[in-house]
Structure 1
Amino acid sequence: MNEHESSTLKKNRIFTVLIGIVLVLIGWNVRLFWIQVASATHLTDRGIDLVENSVVQREQGIVLDSGRGDFVDRNGVSLTGKTMRVLTAFPIETDPSGAAEREASLARAAKVLGVPERQLTVFLDSLTAPQIWTVDGRAAALTEDQAQRLDALGLPDLRVTTYKERYDRRQPAAQVIGYIGQNPERITKQFTDQFHKGELQLTSKIGNAGLEKTFEPWLRGIGATSVSLFTDAARRPLPGLDIRTVTPGNPYYPLKIVTTLDRKLQERIEGKLEQWAIRDGAVVVMDIENADVIAMASRPSFQPEHVDMANEAGWGNRALKAETPGSIFKTVTAAAAMDEHVVKPGETFHCDGELGKFGFTCWKKEGHGTLTLEEGFAQSCNIVFAEVAQRLGGERLERYAQSLGLTNRVGWLGDTSAAAGFRQLDGEEAGQVYAASTDRKDAGALVQTAIGQRDVLLTPLQAANLVVTLFHGGQVLSPRVVQEVRFRNERLYERFDSRHAADAEAFPSIHQATAKTMLGWMTQVVDHGTGSALQAAKWPVAGKSGTAQVQLAGGKPGENHWFIGYGPADHPKYAVAVLIRHVPAGTKNKSILLFQEAMDILAEADQ
């Protein structure tokens, strides 16, 4: 046999061996396929769903952190997203041979939690999915000692994990922050691109009100943190996998919204609303230098996690809702009168309790006697302001209200990375002087308008900003409640600079001398006028009171009680507006006392 024939024979043998190996492998695969089909048929006949059990075998998990961005106050103190240690339970089958030892461990676990053993046992037996141990429907925070003792027990179905609770049990600034929830309609209309990309589902929770809503583009996270327990089909933990935590692990996200609020001041002011049993109203505190909102408290209160979605339209931040202002609007009338020189220096008016026409009266039935415009402001005399208004006319009065920022929304407005014409405040209403149908030349409507009645509407935010505007010589600033957005690693993402109101240039401002005079007249209100009770405040304050006649449900007469002002009077730092809304007529006016409480809190914090 020559060399060529030997090589050919060798190649034929190798080919034959390879064919044999392929045939054997095919046979094994056919056999394995047959076994799978037969087993699946057999198990299905016994009521066992292999697909379902494969899912059970893969993992059972729970979200510990949604990945949504959080809010902090001006000092970096958290407003949302409290992190805490919690007990997480998993529905697994335990080894029957260790029943006695497990029972003893459960007894110790119940003792650590401070509950009866049966309560913990019933909780575990009822599990169909992983669940966090709760108290009164909320995740129960563990102390460090409790966490260590529970971990030491080594129970396979109980693990201590770190959980982020978005809202506190008593959430500060709840009306400002708002709430999140499912809103399929808004997702399909407002976030169409994200929905089609799969970044949002119809069941996703998004901001539905407040800052949660307006800052949704910055708050949306890039992924949740979850903990999973891997089990086999019999719900037994798989060796080597056990519990695993999955997190995006991104150093930049989620983003953080830095507000202008001060959590301590916010909580103390909200505490005063509760102490004084204020059921409906608002308190706004602003930095008089830049119009930053330091506190914004609103009643009725609510818990963000328990908003009635069916009654969402009834939810609102009272600080941003327009209400009849009453005599605080006399600040506008007086400023207009001085700017237009319709009142001579030292000129006096006479009040005997009635104007003599339109059925118009003063709140002081016996009258104030003879007094100047300054004294009329301090005593809040209706007759003086009715006579002044008739000299001004309705159109001029409305124009001055516009120039002081009282007819449009004043909250922060500007172009951002998320949107052009972005507004920070959700649901802010505009004020008004006259309704569209009211004749500005109607003398009867004019005298009512001059004292903040008839069609006049202001928000507490506008009322506080009016004081800031006077301090800035008639220049209207735009209040902000968020100053910047930061990455998770504290690097700056976006800043919202202080600015003038968007339409400030559309109306000429009052003269600086007029603004200064009005601030001085506010000190007279406290010195010898309707706000004299404020002489007991911890630092000197100034302001203007207001009582507006309104109609309650059922047609009953009611009142809005207001006080706006600033403090300390000798070196102004804060502007404050207080509204107590829709109380029965004749109810004691608590707005002055609540204003003092707010100023006392600010005085104590300033020490």
Structure 2
Amino acid sequence: MKLRKRMIWISILITSALFLLLVRLAEIQLFFTESFSKWNVNLIQESVKQRTEEVQISDGRGAFLDRNGKPLTISQKPAIVLFPFLKKQPWPIKDAADILNMSEMEINHKLERAKKPIILTKNEKGSISNMMLEKINKLKYPGIYGVYIEKTKKSRLASHTIGMTNQDPQLLRNKYPHKKELSISTKIGTFGLERTFDEFLLPEQDTKLLYHVDGLGNPLFGMDVKYTADANPFYPLQIKTTLNKEMQKSLEQILDDHHLKKGGAVLLDIEKSSVLGIASKPNLNMASQKTRQNYMLTPMYPGSVFKTVIATAAIETGLDHPSKTFNCNLNLYGKPGEDKGKLNLEEGFAQSCNYTFTSLAHQLMKKDDSIIEDTSRKLGLTEQVGWEGSLFHQDDFKQLYHEGTGAIWGDEHDKKVKKAIAQTAIGQKNVKLTPLEIANMMATIARGGEKKQVKVADQIEYKNGTLMASFKDQDLSGDTIDRYTAQRLQKLLRKVVTSRKGTGRRFRDLPFDVSGKSGTAETGKLTKDKKRLYHKWFAGYFPADKPKYALVVVDMDTPEGKAATNAIFYDIVKIVYKIEKNKT
């Protein structure tokens, strides 16, 4: 009796399992063939892929161009594609070998080992040429083709700012629930401009050569190889950035030459308020999340560069009289510790006298305890400065991904603490600004007080080069400094370089006259042998008399005396001059 009951239960379980299996098979083969699982996988497409050999010529994703229309993220290489089925029938191998400067034996050897299509971009004597492509295609034989293969550059310029793509099915479905036609293997922008402009860059259709095979890898429908491509002349779209490819490449090379480990540089076009070059260190490594940090958009201690703000407030409140001097034998707290003598504001700014600016800060705070942050706001230092506005259905589109925002005070109580005010005056305590904000401050001063948003993308273009959308110049909101204040600051910044004891005197022999301000900020970090680490800055613009470029360089977490900041700034100015001279 027990055995019979047990057999009944076993039968029920087996029947239930078979029923569930049938339901699952019905789901897969009948009901959800085009939207299976939470990823909405198209099972029909995936099944066809398993029986298809293909060579992708382009993934169909939009690309980034520099301001002159040169590609930044993709490259096109001439290539010869050989399909494996050629080894199973006679074909004009001798003609192909002559064209490619290869032996028949070498080609046969490659085909014998091939299980997938072979892509030749080089032969023994070098790269495949455009002429070779033309001659191969004139053979008009199925199975061998000359094509231009579009490759996404793994090592790309401005990588932290332009960003990268990756396969992220969850993000893809969350962002584009209505785009059911997108495969879960579609790459999506995960950070940088690739992410902010992702909606415009998504592929409509890729371009490839393909043929169907049986289980043994033989052509299923003869030797026909199909060419699939989107004939639409408008897509994929292209993002025309404001970057200058030559300047960007040179800037990155200079950072490498000086072995900058952490920090970077940002170069702006002052007139257009746009980024010409931008680079962050350490180099981007997709395997490490830490290397994705774009330090040019990250708030950090600015050190004495912040004295520009105190000088601005002093000028606006009439505390800049040339006869007024400060005892620069005292340190920031008013105690003996320096040996620079008595200096007025102009000399104190050039030599970066701490006591000058802590004294001014105390006087300013007695008049108005909001004056330091208000002045910072006038210079664009407490808000995101990257371009933002309306773009089609997006009312708050921002070009720059994860751009940080500067801050001045950490605690309102600090405004009543003398030491906190002193530290704030020299860009320490809780003062943190992004290099981009500081570069834009220099550009604002150079423009005579005109405060603008910074662009890194200029327009969105259709595939055929016609305009889809452009990003107009936009002012930053809020008050700004007047022309008189800007002119006084220009004089102070120039003195930093021309003064015999100025902290920027190294730049006097450059082909462009430079104006700027140095900065050294304590980080609170130590080396293994207990040496203090600093952020070393130089921020400025050039040519001084007719400003065209604003440049900021920062070497982060560097020991005293080992910073590469000045050498990098010097070399970037020189290379910009050389590039500009070669254009004329």
**TM-score (ref. length: structure 1):** 0.79
Any idea what SS the aligned residue of 1:378 has? Answer: helix
- SS of the equivalent of 1:112 reads coil
Q: CA offset at residue 370 of structure 1?
A: 0.6
Matched residues in 2 for 1:259 and 1:494: separation?
Answer: 13
Q: Which amino acid aligns with 2:360?
A: V
Cα offset, 1:557, TM superposition: 1.7
Q: Distance in 2 between matches of 1:209 and 1:453?
A: 30
Return 5+ residue gaps in structure 1 as ranges.
1-50
2:567 to 572, 584, 593: 593
Question: What residue number does 1:535 align with?
Answer: 508
* Secondary structure of the structure 2 residue equivalent to 1:517: helix
Give the number of aligned pairs.
527
- What's 1:584 paired with? 559
Q: Cα deviations across residues 388-420 of structure 1 (Å, max 9, x unaligned)?
A: 111112531122112211111110010101511
For residue 255 of structure 2, give the secondary structure of its aligned residue in structure 1. Answer: helix
The residue type paired with residue 441 of structure 2 is L
TM superposition shift of 1:261: 0.8
Question: What residue is the counterpart of 1:30 in the other structure?
Answer: none
Change over 3 Å in CA distance of 1:462–1:492 after alignment to 2: same
> Would you say the 8 A contact 1:562–1:591 is kept in 2?
yes
Unaligned runs of 5+ in 2: 1-43
State whether structure 2 residue 378 is matched by structure 1 residue 392: no
Structure-2 residue corresponding to 1:181: 166
Q: Which residue of 1 aligns with 2:67?
A: 74
Distance 1:355 1:440, change over 3 A: closer
Structure 1 residues 112-511: aligned runs within 5 Å: 112=102, 124-130=111-117, 132-133=119-120, 142-147=128-133, 158-167=144-153, 170-194=155-179, 198-231=180-213, 235-237=217-219, 242-302=224-284, 307-308=286-287, 311-312=288-289, 314-355=291-332, 365-393=337-365, 395-436=370-411, 439-501=414-476, 504-505=477-478, 508-511=479-482
8 A Cα contact 2:541 2:550, kept in partner: yes
Shift of 1:546: 0.8
Q: 1:148/1:452 Cα in 2 relative to 1: closer, same or farther (>3 Å)?
A: same
1:457, distance to aligned residue in structure 2 (A): 1.0
Q: CA, structure 1 residues 584+545, in 2 after alignment: closer, same or farther (shift >3 Å)?
A: same
The one-letter amino acid paired with 1:523 is R
CA distance in 1, matches of 2:296, 2:130: 40
Structure 1 residue 470, shift from structure 2 partner: 1.3
3-state SS of 2:422 partner:
helix
Of 367-376 and 342-351, more deviation after overlay is shown by: 342-351
Q: Which residue of 2 aligns with 1:17?
A: none
71-80 or 420-429, which deviates more: 71-80
Pairing partner for 2:536 from 542, 561, 566: 561
Q: For residues 72-113 of structure 1, what are the alpha-carbon distances to aligned partners after superposition, in whole Å with 9 as ceiling and x for unaligned?
A: 1111111122222123343437337x69x96x8898799639
Question: Distance in 1 between the 2:49 and 2:352 partners?
Answer: 74
Distance 1:355 1:484, change over 3 A: closer
Q: Which residue number corresponds to residue 83 of structure 1?
A: 76
Q: Relative to 1, partners in 2 of residues 1:240 and 1:184: Cα closer, same or farther, differing over 3 Å?
A: closer
Shift of 1:601: 1.9
Residues 416-466 of structure 1: per-residue CA shift (max 9 Å, x gap): 015110000112111111225762222111101101111111111111100
- 1:515 matches 2:497: no
Indicate the RMSD between aligned Cα atoms, in angstroms: 3.1
2-structure distance, mates of 1:277, 1:58: 50
Distance 1:129 1:397, change over 3 A: same
Structure-1 residue corresponding to 2:29: none
Q: Would you say the 8 A contact 1:354–1:367 is kept in 2?
A: no
Question: Post-superposition shift, 1:126?
Answer: 4.9
- Equivalents in 2 of 1:162, 1:392: separation in Å? 65
Q: What TM-score, normalized to structure 2?
A: 0.82
CA distance in 1, matches of 2:421, 2:254: 37
**What is the rounded CA distance, in whole Å, between the counterparts of 2:431 and 2:170 in structure 1?**
35
